[in-house]
């Protein structure tokens, strides 16, 4: 917030700003740490204010810098929907706003937008200000005592307050939030710049409109195949739209269910948002096509969740093979080799991990790869496969179902070592499944999927003659890192750095938490680490 000037006072309660979420990754992390049910409220775009009251007096403050704000109590009585106070409550926080219709009719020639008008009125030097009676106050939180907005709503409205519109949800996804935000923007009488999500614990975050939105017409729905055989939709636009300085022609359509439910196909009208993703997303569908454009030329089956579709007998489909080999190289730490080069290898018959690892530089050149890149692939691949550990190899293999990553394999192997899985439990799949299902965070489904795929992984390990590198892991104080560090990499992946970290007893964290000791990221130019 701004540093207050005249009438500045120390606020009776801190008015901290909310952390902001503008990416799907950040949202997923927050939802993982904060369980529902959730209250999702409009984040009105005005001036933040706090109403403090007792039996004898009342005061109205602006946020200022969160600790020091301005006393604007002379505006009490003129601003709409500031209540009389609520028995048992001492302070509420909300937003001072003006409706878009009143602003457009009366003030749009003098001010750039409604927020500028509200700020101008609040910060005017005269105690009696023109325009105050056009302002309204919407409560979004009770701060003394701390009370959930949904629980306080009836009391607040009975006392004369307006409460910011909100809904309750037990589960949240970015897709739903984008659709709901687009819907609220169309229906609300006031400017909003996002949503406020409050978890069951009371923790709150702002889901910000860190993106631009535009309306576009669908030309077609293009379906691509993932390395697990899933068919994923991308919408091609009839005409590109400019968002955040970039002309957008392709838009993620989320999943097959979204395409089917919203009848996405040629002629559909959609709202597109972009918040830095490589492929922007559909926020909402204004008008569907006559029918959904589903994939042709494939036999497919809907997953048990009814969200995605997967190709029947997809193991030998070229796109699946190319995707798996590309991901294998990325995960073991081979750089510079892109999917297009891997496709050449597959066309040349190098279509399995064992064949890839047995190939020489000349084999790669014969497949159409340049000499320098072929030599790099051969050298780097053979160095990295010798250094990789078992959980990383499992994640890179493509043998196990979607959703099983390196950390999950680490959990499984720490409880039941690999040697025990292939010796003690040999021929005892049900017994192994039951043992693994007892591990916290695993459960019956994951255990069953893992045990079902394990024989194929054992065959792979045998075929490539892989043996784990002999690395003695011990408690080590690393210069600059301390004892047994927990490090989070953000914005990049580096297999060699991960292996070096593990070799000195360190751990790689999934996300920043209270246990994280260090965060490693690319510098703003993306050219080095810091």
- CATH number, domain of 373, equals 1.10.150
Phi, psi dihedrals of residue 266, rounded to the nearest 5°: -55, 130
Q: Which of 367, 387, 407 is the last residue of a domain?
A: 387
3-state SS track over 483-515:
ECCEEEEECCCCHHHHHHHHHCCCEECCCCCCC
Parallel, antiparallel, or unpaired: how do β-strands 212-225 and 269-274 relate? Answer: antiparallel
φ, ψ of residue 244 in degrees (nearest 5): 50, 40
Bridge partners, 146 (sequence order): 143
Domain boundary among 372, 387, 402: 387
Looking at the structure, tell me whether residues 133 and 57 fall in a common domain.
yes
**How many other CB atoms are there within 10 angstroms of residue 281's CB atom?**
21
Whether 419 is in a domain gets the answer yes
Is residue 9 within 8 Å of 70, Cβ to Cβ? yes
Residues 49 and 169 in one domain: yes
Rg from Cα positions in the chain: 29
Predicted confidence band at 519 (pLDDT cuts at 50, 70, 90)? confident
Match 């047994």 to its residue by tokens.
484
Residue 271, domain member (yes or no) = yes
- Where is average pLDDT lowest: 255-259, 280-284, 369-373, 510-514? 510-514
CB 430 within 8 A of CB 487: no
Helices 406-415 and 390-397 cross at an angle (nearest 10°) of: 130
Domain total of the chain: 5
- The more confidently predicted of residues 278 and 158 is 158
Chain segment 122-154, per-residue pLDDT in tens: 887 554 466 888 899 999 988 888 888 888 899
Tens digits of residue pLDDT in 406-419: 889 998 998 999 98
Average pLDDT rounded to a whole number, residues 474-491: 60
Verify that 278 and 337 share a domain, yes or no.
Answer: no
Instruction: Tell me if 396 is assigned to some domain.
Output: yes
Q: Which residue has the higher pLDDT, 291 or 275?
A: 291
Per-residue pLDDT at 483: 63
**CB neighbours (10 Å) of residue 170?**
9
Q: State the residue range of the domain holding 429.
A: 390-464
For residue 377, what pLDDT is reported? 94
Question: Is residue 420 domain-resident?
Answer: yes
- Contact, 450 vs 441, CB < 8 A? no
167 in the same domain as 301 = no
What distances in angstroms separate CA 247 from CA 109, 125, 212, 236, 461, one per listed residue?
31, 45, 12, 13, 46
Q: Are residues 280 and 417 in the same domain?
A: no
Instruction: Quote the CA–CA distance of 84 and 89 in Å, as a whole number.
Output: 11
Nearest to 267 by CA among 244, 285, 243: 285
Q: At residue 456, does pLDDT exceed 90?
A: yes
- pLDDT exceeds cutoff 80 at 23: no
Question: Is there a domain that residue 528 lies in?
Answer: no
Band of pLDDT at residue 269, cut at 50, 70 and 90: very high
Q: Tell me: do 38 and 117 sit in the same domain.
A: yes
Between the alpha carbon of residue 119 and those of residues 46, 48, 95, 189, 190, the distances in Å are 7, 10, 11, 18, 15
CA angle 187, 197, 36 (to 5 degrees): 120
Q: Which residue has the tokens 């009208």?
A: 269
**Distance separating alpha carbons of residues 418 and 421, to the nearest angstrom:** 5
Domain match, 415 and 517 both: no
Q: Are 240 and 348 members of one domain?
A: no
- 368 and 351 within one domain: yes
DSSP 302: E
Whether the Cβ atoms of residue 166 and residue 149 lie closer than 8 Å to each other: yes
Kindly state whether residue 433 falls inside one of the protein's structural domains.
yes
Residues 230 and 192 in one domain: no
Which residue, of 343, 372, 387, is where some domain finishes? 387
117 and 164 part of one domain: yes
Residue 515 lies inside a defined structural domain of this protein: yes
Report pTM. Answer: 0.54
Distance CA 436, CA 412 (A): 7
Please tell me whether residues 294 and 339 are part of one structural domain: no
């Amino acid at each position: 917030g701004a540093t207050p000037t005249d009438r500045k006072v120390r606020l009776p309660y801190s008015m901290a700003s909310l952390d902001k979420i503008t990416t799907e990754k950040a949202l997923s992390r927050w939802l993982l740490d904060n369980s529902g049910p959730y209250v999702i409220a409009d984040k009105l775009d005005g001036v933040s204010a706090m109403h403090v009251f007792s039996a004898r007096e009342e005061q109205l403050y602006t946020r200022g810098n969160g600790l020091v704000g301005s006393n604007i109590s002379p505006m009490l009585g003129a601003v709409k929907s500031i209540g009389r106070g609520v028995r048992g409550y001492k302070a509420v926080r909300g937003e001072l706003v003006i409706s878009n219709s009143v602003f457009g009719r009366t003030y749009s020639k003098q001010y750039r937008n409604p927020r500028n008008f509200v700020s101008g009125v609040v910060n005017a030097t005269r105690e009696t200000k023109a325009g105050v009676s056009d302002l309204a106050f919407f409560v979004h939180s009770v701060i003394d005592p701390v009370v959930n907005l949904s629980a306080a709503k009836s009391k607040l409205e009975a006392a004369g307050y307006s409460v910011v519109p909100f809904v309750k949800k037990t589960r949240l996804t970015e897709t739903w939030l984008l659709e709901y935000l687009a819907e609220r923007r169309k229906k609300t009488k006031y400017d909003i710049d996002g949503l406020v999500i409050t978890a069951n614990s009371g923790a709150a975050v702002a889901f910000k409109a860190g993106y631009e939105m535009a309306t576009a017409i669908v030309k077609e729905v293009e379906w691509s195949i993932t390395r697990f055989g899933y068919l994923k939709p991308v919408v091609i636009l009839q005409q590109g739209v400019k968002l955040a300085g970039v002309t957008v022609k392709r838009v993620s359509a989320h999943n097959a269910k979204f395409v089917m439910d919203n009848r996405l196909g040629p002629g559909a009208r959609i709202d597109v948002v972009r918040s830095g993703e490589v492929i922007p997303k559909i926020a909402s569908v204004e008008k569907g096509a006559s029918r959904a454009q589903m994939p042709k030329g494939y036999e497919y089956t809907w997953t048990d969740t009814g969200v995605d579709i997967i190709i029947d007998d997809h193991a030998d489909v070229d796109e699946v093979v190319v995707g798996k080999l590309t991901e294998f190289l990325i995960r073991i730490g081979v750089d510079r080799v892109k999917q297009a080069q891997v496709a050449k290898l597959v066309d040349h018959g190098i279509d399995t991990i064992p064949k890839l690892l047995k190939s020489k530089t000349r084999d790669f050149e014969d497949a159409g790869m340049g000499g320098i890149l072929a030599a790099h692939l051969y050298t780097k691949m053979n160095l990295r496969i010798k250094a990789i550990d078992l959980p990383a190899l499992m994640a890179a293999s493509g043998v196990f179902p979607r959703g099983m990553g390196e950390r999950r394999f680490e959990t499984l192997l720490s409880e039941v070592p690999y040697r025990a899985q292939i010796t003690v439990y040999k021929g005892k799949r049900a017994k192994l499944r039951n043992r693994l299902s007892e591990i916290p965070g695993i459960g019956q489904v994951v255990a069953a999927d893992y045990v079902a795929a394990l024989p194929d992984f054992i065959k792979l390990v045998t075929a490539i003659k892989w043996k784990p590198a002999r690395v003695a892991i011990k408690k080590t104080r690393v210069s600059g890192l301390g004892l047994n560090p927990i490090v989070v990499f953000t914005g990049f992946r580096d297999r060699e750095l991960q292996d070096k970290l593990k070799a000195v007893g360190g751990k790689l964290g999934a996300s920043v938490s209270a246990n994280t000791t260090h965060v490693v990221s690319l510098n703003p130019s993306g050219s080095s680490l810091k």
